[in-house]
Amino acid sequence: MQPRERCIATVGAAELAPRLREQTACGQPESAQTTGLVAYLDGEPVGWCAVDPRSANPRLLSQCPTPWVGRTEDKSDASVWAVTCILTRAGFRRRGISRALARAAVDFARQRGARALEAYPHTSEVGHFGTPSVFAAAGLVEVSRPTLRRIVMRIDF
């Protein structure tokens, strides 16, 4: 299955300036597609961020209780988007790529009519959920701490 690409933004510090491209998995039903952003540096893919409506993530809605602890918000609200994964390739870390991707995810969701964007970073381990500082730099604020290691962060538009 080949992803289709369309350039949507150039972001980051002047020395970094990764090109971000929207990635949508082709050949899947629209409801099963994952949308994300790919960061390119000198034509090479160096990072990826999954960002789409929260309701498009079945595992987030049914198997992952973390975002819902202590919250009564409608899980199926398609106007709330979520960053469910953010990765930077080894060898390209600590260069601002994750921060650029998080900022681009905010813009991406806002431009597509999202009412809010959420992220679910870990506080104690580096992984594919991102870190609180990456999302804070993009304007998200903590709304809850459902576990000792997990934060729910959000920006309302």
Per-residue model confidence as pLDDT tens digits over 112-156: 999 999 999 988 766 678 889 999 999 999 998 888 888 899 999
Question: Which tokens is 87 given?
Answer: 């990765």
Name residue, tokens 């597609």. Answer: 33
Question: Which tokens is 105 given?
Answer: 């995810």
- Hey, what amino acid is at 67? P
Question: Which tokens is 9 given?
Answer: 């933004």
Other C-beta atoms closer than 10 Å to the C-beta of 89 total: 14
- Hey, what amino acid is at 63? Q
For the segment 85-114, the average pLDDT, to the nearest whole number, is 91
User: What count of Cα atoms within 13 Å lies in the side-chain half-sphere of residue 26?
Assistant: 7
Can you name the residues that pair with 7 across neighbouring β-strands?
A: 21
Give me the domains of the chain, ranges plus CATH numbers: 48-156 (3.40.630.30)
Per-residue model confidence as pLDDT tens digits over 44-84: 889 999 999 988 887 776 656 666 666 777 878 889 999 98
**117 near 155, Cβ under 8 Å?**
yes
Measured distance CA(115)–CA(30) in Å, rounded: 21
